[in-house]
A and B are shown apart, each in its own frame.
Chain A
Amino acid sequence: MEAVTDLVNAVVLLLNFVIVPGLSYGSQLALGALGITLVFGILRFANFAHGDTMAFGTMITVLVTWWLQSKGISLGPLPTALLALPAGILLTIALVVITDRSVYRYYRHAKAVPVTFMIASMGVMFMSNGIVRFVIGPNDQRFLDGERFIVSAREFKAATGLSEGLSIKLSQGLTIVIAIILVALLFWFLHKTRTGKAMRAYSDNEDLALLSGVDPDRIVLVTWIITAILATIAGTLYGLDKSFKPFTYLQLLLPMFAAAIVGGIGNPIGAIVGGYVIAFSEVMVTYAYKKVFVYLLPQSLEPEGLLQLLSTDYKFAVSFVILVLVLLVRPTGILRGKLL
């Protein structure tokens, strides 16, 4: 009986510290990587400004959340930020569309090579990064309110009598639910609507899409709108889960790009797969497994060290290593994407 309890405790421990955080972080990365992969598939360049687009959208959402909070408006148990999201999305759409009109369109008409676009996107990245820091400052901002937990560790322990608790934060649950809804909507749009099919056709074979009468300006506009929606929601969910700090979003660029490339860049399903691959690798490699093995192994074999493969300080290295491995072994990604 005790062996069974130990096993359950070990599973709960893993659920609590690996599976649940991995799922929610993976969903955030997947939503970010989807934006990167869409821009790559349609506009054919690596958008380095994506992390800061996320930061901009989240900043607007945070500001509107604070304003709503000051008016005493809330969503009860749900975070007020959900109410502020539409405003964040709208202003982010405005930002990316204005950026496209003023920066990228020029290079598109000049038929610039992808590297030029990429460098231009770095400029855009620095600019939007500057705007965000100028408006809200470089510090950590908290904007989470409402209920903290769906399941708290204490309640879980009391209900099950286990010595390990499982806690699921509301922000984690929201992240996973919203990610599923968004991805379902996106795939419905890409596969069932006229504009969505035109986007896929344009990404697949630009010349033939033009020969079929697809309007490239419209496709580009729709792509930016979808990218802004995904970026703002991904950024806000990440901010609710952790906290909002502009620099963190710049750092997120690496795991998001890794996710998009590992999954197969230009391939939306690949971006989702890649998001979870990167997230779980990061969480699993940096988790200290000592306690799990304490439950599983007899006392005489109890491990001495922490059994942590890598310190959390090095978590970004995980993305790098996976990225390098994939590019070496399977440059098109797990699911076949375009070659970079």
Chain B
Amino acid sequence: MSFLNGENMVGGYGGADILKGCSIDVNEGEIAVIVGPNGAGKSTAMRALLGMLEMKEGMVSFRGRDISKLSPQDRIAEGIAFVPQTSNVFTSMTVFENLEMGAFLRDDDISETIEQIYQLFPILADKKDQLAGELSGGQRQQVAVARALMSQPAVLMLDEPTAGVSPIVMDELFDRILEVRQTGVAVLMVEQNARQALDIADRGFVLVIGENRHTDSGAALLADPEVRRSFLGG
């Protein structure tokens, strides 16, 4: 049984179902990537794992325990962190305060974690007293990921972390995410840049209209001619 496991999830935001029985799971120390065409329900699947939409069927388990009934906040308290695609930093607060907010639920000493974050994202140490809203797009994404990591999560979920950043920044961000995996965190990502994302992924899920189309290791999916033709542009 996987660490975080969403099984046969069906549901949407009222109205028609967006997820039509898809399953996503991720293990500790592993990067799992959800890819697929627009409207496939990639972000929705991630939101379902976090409890941000009501599921009609299926269940979500974490550490072998059913968490389907827990609110998003309770799931966060259990050790799942989420980085939304947009509005993912507190723009009117400093970088340091953003990190502090990430550790809001912790009551132990956070200085060691902050040091680790500064090692992972050195630019944030330089900019710690600057308002997050004044940073560049790539730096903001780093703040967003760092904020989520401050809670020392067991699972880190990222909704299109490279949307709208330059290719150089994207590579750097993926490098950082690989480093995060090294610490034993389970990383689950939704990505538009499917090829690059699958490149660093241990496993990939290809979703099409709310269902799993292909599930395999990142390398195998990249090598699969059908996946290449349909989803990776040849």
Instruction: Tell me the A residues contacting B by CB distance below 8 Å.
Output: 194, 197-198, 200-201, 203-205, 207-214
Q: Is B100 part of the binding interface, using a Cβ–Cβ cutoff of 8 Å?
A: yes
User: Please, which residues of chain B bring their CB within 8 A of the CB of A205?
Assistant: 87, 89-91
Contact with A along B91-122 (1 / 0, CB 8 A): 11100010011101100000000000000000
Contact of A200 with B76 in the complex, beta carbons under 8 Å: no
With contact pairs A201-B90, A201-B101 given, residues A208 and B73 touching in the complex (Cβ less than 8 Å): no
Contact of B93 with A212 in the complex, beta carbons under 8 Å: no
Give the complex CA separation of A204 and B151 in angstroms: 20
Contact of B87 with A197 in the complex, beta carbons under 8 Å: no
User: Please, which residues of chain B bring their CB within 8 A of the CB of A210?
Assistant: 72-73
Q: Can you name 19 extra interface pairs (CB under 8 A) apart from A204-B92, A205-B91?
A: A197-B97, A197-B100, A198-B101, A200-B92, A200-B97, A205-B87, A205-B90, A207-B84, A208-B87, A208-B89, A208-B101, A209-B90, A211-B76, A212-B101, A212-B102, A212-B105, A213-B77, A213-B104, A213-B151
Q: Give the Cβ gap from A62 to chain B, nearest Cβ, in Å.
A: 38
Q: Is B140 part of the binding interface, using a Cβ–Cβ cutoff of 8 Å?
A: no
User: Please, which residues of chain B bring their CB within 8 A of the CB of A208?
Assistant: 84, 87-90, 101
Q: Within the complex, which residue of A197, A198, A200, A212 is in contact with B147, where a contact is CB–CB below 8 Å?
A: A212
- By beta carbon, the residue of chain B nearest A336 is B92
Q: Give the Cβ gap from B187 to chain A, nearest Cβ, in Å.
A: 17
- By beta carbon, the residue of chain B nearest A198 is B104
User: Please, which residues of chain B bring their CB within 8 A of the CB of A207?
Assistant: 84, 87
With contact pairs A197-B97, A213-B76 given, residues A204 and B90 touching in the complex (Cβ less than 8 Å): yes
Q: Is B82 part of the binding interface, using a Cβ–Cβ cutoff of 8 Å?
A: yes
Give the complex CA separation of A209 and B73 in angstroms: 10
The 5 closest A-B pairs by CB, nearest first: A213-B105, A204-B90, A212-B104, A204-B92, A212-B101
Q: Give the Cβ gap from B15 to chain A, nearest Cβ, in Å.
A: 17
Count class of interface residues, chain B: 20 to 34
User: Please, which residues of chain B bring their CB within 8 A of the CB of A209?
Assistant: 90, 101
Contact of B82 with A211 in the complex, beta carbons under 8 Å: yes
- By beta carbon, the residue of chain B nearest A211 is B82
Give the complex CA separation of A213 and B77 in angstroms: 7
User: Please, which residues of chain A bring their CB within 8 A of the CB of B101?
Assistant: 197-198, 201, 208-209, 212, 214
Contact of B91 with A211 in the complex, beta carbons under 8 Å: no
User: Please, which residues of chain B bring their CB within 8 A of the CB of A212?
Assistant: 76, 101-102, 104-105, 147, 151
User: Please, which residues of chain A bring their CB within 8 A of the CB of B76?
Assistant: 211-213
Q: Give the Cβ gap from B77 to chain A, nearest Cβ, in Å.
A: 6
Q: Give the Cβ gap from B117 to chain A, nearest Cβ, in Å.
A: 15
- By beta carbon, the residue of chain B nearest A194 is B104
Give the complex CA separation of A75 and B73 in angstroms: 50
- By beta carbon, the residue of chain A nearest B81 is A211
With contact pairs A210-B72, A210-B73, A211-B82 given, residues A204 and B91 touching in the complex (Cβ less than 8 Å): yes
With contact pairs A197-B97, A205-B87, A207-B84 given, residues A214 and B92 touching in the complex (Cβ less than 8 Å): no
Q: Give the Cβ gap from A192 to chain B, nearest Cβ, in Å.
A: 11
User: Please, which residues of chain B bring their CB within 8 A of the CB of A214?
Assistant: 101, 104
User: Please, which residues of chain A bring their CB within 8 A of the CB of B82?
Assistant: 211
Best-buried of A197, A205, A208, A210 by chain B (most CB within 10 Å)? A208
Give the complex CA separation of A210 and B88 in angstroms: 12
Give the complex CA separation of A197 and B92 in angstroms: 11
Q: Give the Cβ gap from A264 to chain B, nearest Cβ, in Å.
A: 11
With contact pairs A209-B101, A213-B76 given, residues A201 and B87 touching in the complex (Cβ less than 8 Å): no
User: Please, which residues of chain B bring their CB within 8 A of the CB of A200?
Assistant: 90, 92-93, 97
Give the complex CA separation of A43 and B179 in angstroms: 40
CB contact list, B130-159 vs A, under 8 A: 147, 151
User: Please, which residues of chain A bring their CB within 8 A of the CB of B87?
Assistant: 205, 207-208
Q: Give the Cβ gap from A32 to chain B, nearest Cβ, in Å.
A: 23
Give the complex CA separation of A216 and B226 in angstroms: 48
Give the complex CA separation of A209 and B102 in angstroms: 9
Q: Give the Cβ gap from A80 to chain B, nearest Cβ, in Å.
A: 41
- By beta carbon, the residue of chain B nearest A209 is B101
Q: Give the Cβ gap from A152 to chain B, nearest Cβ, in Å.
A: 46
Q: Give the Cβ gap from A332 to chain B, nearest Cβ, in Å.
A: 13
User: Please, which residues of chain B bring their CB within 8 A of the CB of A213?
Assistant: 73, 76-77, 104-105, 151
Contact of B93 with A201 in the complex, beta carbons under 8 Å: yes
Give the complex CA separation of A280 and B193 in angstroms: 57
Q: Give the Cβ gap from B65 to chain A, nearest Cβ, in Å.
A: 19
